[in-house]
Amino acid sequence: MSEQVKQMTDQELMDHMRHCIENYSGSIEYLNEAVGLLVVGRIMGWKHQRIVTSRRAWNFARDVFGDPKSPQFMPDRTPTGDRKSVALGIADKLGGYLQYVKGLINIPKDERKMLQ
């Protein structure tokens, strides 16, 4: 039987990021983007973040902090993300998040990056 993973508390996430940052060497630009991905993802959900974040930033965050889709970091969707994310609203109307991921629907970048 698999054990359900609990979301980290805000303090645990900060401690995890602090540990990872202290052991990181490289461009601060990518690190800033990865930290933002995790923090905003706590509020908006990882599906929103996956749509609005570049593949490079997503992979960087995964390599430094761990898989952002892991429930320990953030939920898949949140009420705030569902209410504010233009990209999730468009994806839902056109067939859902997986249709976007599979490349079956296109969401223009300007709309993908907007909050309402």
CB atoms within 10 A of CB 31: 19
DSSP string for residues in 67-90: -TTSTTT--S--HHHHHHBHHHHH
Instruction: Parse the chain into domains and list their residue ranges.
Output: 10-112
pLDDT digits (tens, 9 = 90+) for 23-65: 999 989 989 999 999 999 999 999 999 988 888 999 999 999 9
pLDDT digits (tens, 9 = 90+) for 58-103: 999 999 999 999 999 999 999 999 999 998 888 888 887 777 777 7
CB 106 within 8 A of CB 76: no
